[in-house]
Amino acid sequence: MFPHRMHQFVAWLIACAAMLAAIAPASAQEIPTEARYGDDNIAVELRADGMPVAGEQWMLALKFTPSAPEWHGYWSNPGDAGQGMMLRLALPDGWTMGEALYPVPKTLLISGLMNHIYEGEYAVLVPVNVPADANISGVPDFAGHVEYLACTDRVCVPQDAVLTAGQGGDFARWQAEVAPLLSAQEGFEITGTAARIAIPLPASVNLPAPHVFIENERLVDYAAVQTFMREGDMLVAEIPLDEYGTGEATALSGILAFGDGAGVRFVGGKGSVPQLAIKIAGPIGADTPPLWTLILGALVGGLLLNIMPCVFPILSLKALSLARAGESETKARSEGLAYTAGVVLACVGLGALMLALRAAGEQVGWAFQLQSPGVVIVLLVLASIITVNFAGLFELPSLSFTQGGKPAGAFATGLLAAFAATPCTGPFMAAALGAALLLPTPLALLLFAMLGLGLALPFLLIGFVPALRNRLPKPGAWMETFRKVMAIPMGLTALALIWLTVQLGGRGFAMFALVMLFGIVLALAVVGRLQAAGKMAWPAFGLVAAPFVIFGAFALPYSYETPSAQPSQSIHEPAAFSREALAEARASGKPVFLWFTADWCVTCKVNESIAIERESVREAFEEAGVITIVGDWTVRDEEITMFLTERGAAGVPLYLWYEPGAEPEQLPQVLAPDLLEEYASGNGR
């Protein structure tokens, strides 16, 4: 069964074949003397730029003029549907026709099919090489015929015309509209999933809306999101390959469009393509805030992560450990620095891994590790171990939360806190993490480091500022009670991870994970009993836990079930996100609310409970006719990741409001309860 896009593609081919079935290719000696279809919808004229000169190039132009604005013509490679121009000229002996030169085309996406089109009047230049010994006594009398397709968004009509060259025309403007050929040689390479093209382009050239039109047919996916990387005077474009194409090319040519009709032509052979800093597909750096605001946003965003239920217990207990009696200034500072080092290292490591995966072609974003069932199982085990440790079931000296610890323990705690905090992007973090996808790698890693510093900052300050430590409650027996109370939020985190395990791998997968987890907790209970008796404890842990861990290692992969897309039934029964669904919704002329969420994102779920899944919002949307679409990013989804990247977002949540015929407005990451109702009533903009 072909996917939806292929069904549409086949339908378009059948329609075009039916319309053009009567067009039989004539030889150069059999140019028709009468048009078969005419040019009523898009008229064509052949113009000549002055008189031909022996030994020089003579320029002709085909001027196309639509009869109404809805008609459009096509580039040499029409894209997923359409028909390129077929031109034949019976020139004098020895005269040769060069390659047609086109202006920069536009994109037209209809039902997931990408078309390369021209709207309004346009001209295609045709160079003619005149031999040096040509006997010229005026404009030569030669026959010509052109076949092409005229289309609207709903219908296509074959057109043709018999050509006779006439003098005149705005050749200066037409030549200026043709994309100039870059003098430098371009290189390209075909990877397993994409064509990568190196285009030398001065850094001073602004790219407000870049798009690459590939002339090679059946090589790339025309409708796919194009990724651009830029560094200095080099631009690298990555375009996914056509799933049903050849996947091979010995040479590659096309047009790099800048936006507003500007662009350059390129022709290149296979060669080395450098790895540069990844940029978003679309405006490159145009909307990126100043670096200092990104650094501040990452710092404040990391600071706010400390109130997350999976981080706050760890932080609060480690902070109280510094207030214990007899704590030395040196020891407090060493623990603060060690904890900070662990947090920053974890954040930078996760950020570097994300950037490396993206550079290798993987479509991942922030918190990508929570889209992996294996990682979630590890987090579930860690959260459960911390929970039972807080509850007093056993003691783990290397992660001592309430008693005197060593820097190594504080470092391990920092690693754990950072890893537990990464699932969400909260306020102030969105711009910084989104910009990390655009900036050169060193600056991107700096933002991840500042995120870690913000997360570690409270504990670092407590370690270095005695006045803050003195304000903490004095140590005492109550700390053990507080520790057990903190087992509750950690236990809730473990329960949330169990629920996430079901979402990622199915109920059977989660059941086997719980069996393995039961064995680990049972082993820890045995350890606790032996510790209380003053006996050697940890060898017993291995003996008890090993059979359950081995069972899980074999059973979990076989019980895993790939989840199916099941959008939550919230406001107005939202459709599952796809580019086709979004295009159809926008074409309806109604407002569209699009949001991206994930089951592991705390901010997403809070927003949904207080601002999205409300009866008043449902009623307001129904009254205004708002179409709702949701993108569930719980499991890795390349289409969603690519869309988030286009919008400059590294993760979820992301909320977009589309007014009919207008560009989308990005809403805040933390939604006010009445915000959506205001937008539905027209008062939000």
Any idea which residue has 């709207």 for tokens? 119
Burial (0-12, 13-18, 19+ Cβ within 10 Å), 567: middle
Q: Where are the domains of the chain?
A: 4-177, 186-279, 291-372+394-485, 575-680
Alpha-carbon span 587 to 605, nearest angstrom:
30
- Return the DSSP state at 608: I
Contacts of 485 (CB under 8 A, 6+ apart): none
Do residues 83 and 148 make contact, with C-beta atoms less than 8 angstroms apart? yes
Q: What is the mean pLDDT of the chain?
A: 81
Q: What is the pLDDT of residue 38?
A: 93
> Which residue in 467, 552, 562 sits closest to 505, CA to CA?
562
CA angle 11, 4, 590 (to 5 degrees): 95
At 544 the pLDDT is: 93
Number of neighbouring beta carbons within 10 Å of residue 39: 19
Which residues neighbour 153 within 8 Å (Cβ) at sequence distance 6 or greater? 70, 108, 110
Strands (E), 271-392: 278-279
Alpha carbon of residue 46 to chain centroid: 45
What angle do helix axes 507-532 and 478-505 make, rounded to 10 degrees? 160
CA atoms within 13 A on the CB side of 49: 21
Residue 550: half-sphere exposure toward Cβ, Cα within 13 Å: 6
User: Could you tell me the two tokens for 110?
Assistant: 């209809």
Q: What is the pLDDT of residues 105-123, one digit of tens each?
A: 999 888 778 899 999 999 9
Contact 214, 220 (CB under 8 A): yes
Indicate the helix (H) or strand (E) that contains 606. helix 602-607
Asked: is 186-279 a CATH 1.10.3470 domain? The reply is no
Alpha-carbon span 672 to 685, nearest angstrom = 14
Tokens at 507, concatenated: 């109920």
CATH architecture of 575-680: 3-Layer(aba) Sandwich (3.40)
CATH architecture label of 4-177: Sandwich (2.60)
Q: Which residues pair with 166 in a beta bridge?
A: 47
Q: Which residues of the chain have pLDDT under 50?
A: 1-29, 280-287, 325-326, 401-404, 567-570
H runs (alpha helix) in 193-277? none
User: Can you give the pLDDT at residue 630?
Assistant: 93
Q: Do the two domains 186-279 and 575-680 of this chain adopt the same fold?
A: no
Neighbouring C-beta atoms of residue 323, cutoff 10 Å: 18
Are the beta carbons of 468 and 461 closer than 8 angstroms?
yes
**Token pair of 6, please?**
């292929």
pTM of the model: 0.51
User: How many residues are listed for the chain in this entry?
Assistant: 685
Give me the residue label for tokens 């207080």: 610
